[in-house]
Structure 1
Amino acid sequence: MAEAVDRLYAAILDARTRDPQTSKTAKLLREGMTKIAKKVVEEAVEVSLDAVQGDRQRVIEESADLVYNVAVLWAETGVTPTDVWNEIARRERTYGIAEKLPKDTSRKDDR
């Protein structure tokens, strides 16, 4: 799967030079971070609702949309798939693959 996400990410970076009238990715990138972040939230909600409804096929389809939009967000923020894979590897070494890091309560939440 990592290779597929790497190819997707490369295509997203390539889309930066494309015409936004012919490339949906170029258009989304030009619309900026607010629009990209909204798309990530929208797809996360859709995949969650489909999961609650037990619609396996829609979970697959919406998950693909979510991964795409997260990759666009990464590209816009300068995060690479390798950055994410390295973080996953670090967490696996520290906590095990199926665990999430505990929240750092000392960090100030600016949101």
Structure 2
Amino acid sequence: MIETLYKEAQNRKQYPKEGSYTNYLFDKGLDKILKKVGEEATEVVIAAKNTDKDEIANETADVLYHLAVMLVETGVTLDDVEAVLQSRQGKQSNVHDRKKITDY
């Protein structure tokens, strides 16, 4: 699925199609693409807090699409992302619970 989105974004970048939303994003540039990634990620959080499965699915689809466009725009390949994920596989997390902040 993400590969299909990525390839479609690559195709739109290489072969622009008039009226394409993807080309609109590429034309507006990285700042616009990043704004959309942030907006859609926030909407996923809200959907999850609302525990609305349809809304979660829709907003997740939007995030994945905008991430694919961002990856193409920045020249990061899916292989690059997969290499990072594979390098992390099986490693123990360094994340620990943080101390409670008491001084403000």
The 4+ residue runs of structure 1 with deviation greater than 2 A are none
- The yes-or-no answer on 1:83 pairing with 2:74 is no
In structure 2, the partner of 1:18 is 16
- The yes-or-no answer on 1:65 pairing with 2:62 is yes
Q: TM-score by structure 2 length?
A: 0.83
In structure 2, the partner of 1:27 is 24
Name the amino acid aligned to 1:24.
Y
* SS at 1:94 equivalent: coil
How many residues end up aligned between the 2 structures?
A: 94
Of all paired residues, the percent bearing the same amino acid is: 34
CA deviations on 1:47-79 (whole Å, 9 max, x unpaired) are 100110111110011001000001111001100
Give the distance between the partners of 2:52 and 2:4, measured in 1 at CA.
28
Q: TM-score by structure 1 length?
A: 0.78
In structure 1, the partner of 2:50 is 53
Give the distance between the partners of 2:63 and 2:80, measured in 1 at CA.
18
Give the structure with higher Rg (CA).
Answer: 2
In the TM superposition, what is the alpha-carbon distance from 1:46 to its structure 2 partner? 0.3
Segments of 5+ residues of structure 2 without an aligned counterpart are 96-104
Name the amino acid aligned to 1:61.
N
Segments of 5+ residues of structure 1 without an aligned counterpart are 103-111
In structure 1, the partner of 2:40 is 43
Between stretches 68-77 and 86-95, larger displacement belongs to 86-95
